[in-house]
Structure formats: C-alpha cells, structure tokens
Structure 1
Amino acid sequence: MSQHMVIFQNPDGDPGYNQFESIDEAVSFVEKIRNDQGVDSVRIFELNEVKFELKPYYKVKLQALNAGSSSAPAPAPAAAPAPAAAPAPAPAPAPAPAPAPAPAPAAAPAPAPAPAPAPAPAPAAAPAPAPSPDPAFSPFASPAAPSAPAAPSAPAAAPVPPADQPAEESQPTRRGLFGR
C-alpha cells in the first residue's frame, strides 16, 4: 500500500501539504478543504519509496609527485569528505615489496621476520627512485590464488624506521601497509 500526499495553496497564498495512508483519506481531505476553505489549487501525489544506499567516498590528493617539482600543490577543499594524510618523506631506495604471507591459523604463532641489512647512506642531491612493483604480487588477487615467490632484483637498503621508534640494527623488516 502506498502513501499519498496532498499539496495545496491556502487562501492566504501559503503552500500546504498533508500525507495520508490511503487515496480515500486524501480525496476526503481535498473535498473538505475545497468546501470549507475554498481552496482551488490542489494536487494529489502517490508516494513510492526510492531505495538507495549511502557509501563512503574517498579521494586521494597528491601534494607533489617528487621533491623537485616546481608547481605548487593545490590546496585542500574546506569541506573535504575525509581528512588527507600528510605525505611521507622520501625514503632511501627500498627493496621491492615481498608477497604477504598466507594467513596462519589462529593457534599458530607468526614467524619472526629476518633482520634487515644496515641501511646505506643515500646521496642528498639525487632524488630517491620509486620502488618497482612486484609483478607476482597483486593486492587485488583473490585469497585462494597462490602467490609466486618474488625474485630478488637487487640488494637495497632497509627502510628508514619511523620517527617514534629508535633506530636499531636488530629492528625487523617492516612489511605491508601497517608493518605487520
């Protein structure tokens, strides 16, 4: 059963509306306002619900593609849908990302990663090259698809530790987006 809306204009010129459960109730209301108030401008609408879904909207804005770009970054809009993260400093050349290990059963402990080699100092004048993506690893691959082991391309320096952690020689290699 659909609902009905009666939209009319009062004798004062102000708009009015009433909602009813049935067409019979809407018709009797129209008869009443026509006979009692002299309202001539009346319309009846049948209301049907429109189904929709609200989804989050994320937008990525780059501040600068590299440190040597001369173009100024565009300012963020005042009403951004999600706060933008601050850009990370350019790291030293990093090894190609390794495929993520398969999820282990809940009872088995996770193996500890091997310690990373000591970082090599990077020249200050040359910008750091972008890491090359691993063709065998795709973040969009299905969980059931087997992942091929990545072939080491070239030895590279270990990633720079975050500022809130002290630099140690025995610090494990950080893997994945959140260091797991």
Structure 2
Amino acid sequence: MTSSSTLTSAQAASGSGDAAASGDAAASGETAADLRRLLTFRAHGAARLLLGCRARLEDVEGAVAAGQSEVAVLMAYDLVQLSLSVRGLRTAGELTYGHDEAAFDPFAGISGEEARDGMALASEGLDAAGERGEEWLERLRGHLRASEALLGYAEPLPDVRSGSGMMRGLKLARTWQPLMDRVGLPPLLPDAWTRRAD
C-alpha cells in the first residue's frame, strides 16, 4: 500500500491542484483509517484479552487441575485463537466476534507462522499432565503476555475477576469510550453491562 506521504508528494509534484486536493483527501482518509485501526487494536484488543482470554485461561487451568486433558486442549484452542485475533486487530483482524460464531476468522491479520505456532502450542496440552501440565500452562500464559505486550500499555492489564481489577478495568473502558464514540467504533463493554434494568 502506498503511504499517505508518498501519495501527497507525488501528486503535489505533478503540479495539478486537483491532484493535490485529491492527495490531501486520500491522506486524510488513510490517517482516519489508521487511527481507527490503532484504537480498535489498543482498546478492543485489551477488552478481548480481559473479558475473553482470561476467562478461557481459567477454564484451561481448571481442566488441567482436574486431569481433563481433552477438555484442556479444546479450551486451549479457543484461548489461542482468541489471543491471535487480538494480535490481528493491528492490521486486518475482525472487530466483533461471537462465541461459536462460524463467520468469525480468528486468523485475520496474522501470519501463517503465528497461526501454526499457536495451534501447535494448544495441541501440546494433550500430553501435558502433572509437572508437564504446569509447564504447558506457563507457555499458554506466556502467549497471552506476548499478545498483551503488543498493545503497548505501560503496566499489565488488570484482573477484572477481582474486586480492585474490575474497577481498574471499568476505568480503562471509560478512558477509551469517548474516543470510540468519536470515531464511530462500537462500545468496549458488553451491552448487558451498560443497559438499564428498567
């Protein structure tokens, strides 16, 4: 893709006023698209990690503790795909997703190598038991930490399943929401969290 600055420079050099105006419009459009993608990645990526990935990790941990390796692997596939979908939000990942929604592509915007490595990590849980199970869990946690690190926050995201973490999570959502509204992106929190009971 040609960058905005390349387009503007090339069109200005042609000496055409219409071309220059067109270049300004193209640059403005690309900048707006880049801003929306960045906001999507940082805000919705954080929400997806906090509300989706952390819950799935707890499910995997519970299955490993109970010796249910098949369940652990199935949940790990779900976890890794959701984590990869966060990474994909940087470029072409899908903004909205629903549980068990067939049309959602968790691999949009990531490389084939990232997808293969993630799926291989999930599948290794079938042989994970005892100490090997804990080692595998730590590698899954590392996968999530790597996804989170890409978001660029100065400190780790809060644990919204704790009292203090929930308040910090809501504060994060309140910080981002005005920007989401301004550029026409959907809200961070699930509708049920913000809908009035009456």
Task: Mark yes or no: TM-score above 0.5.
Answer: no
Higher helix content, 1 or 2: 2
TM-score normalised over the length of structure 1: 0.24
- Larger strand fraction of residues: 1
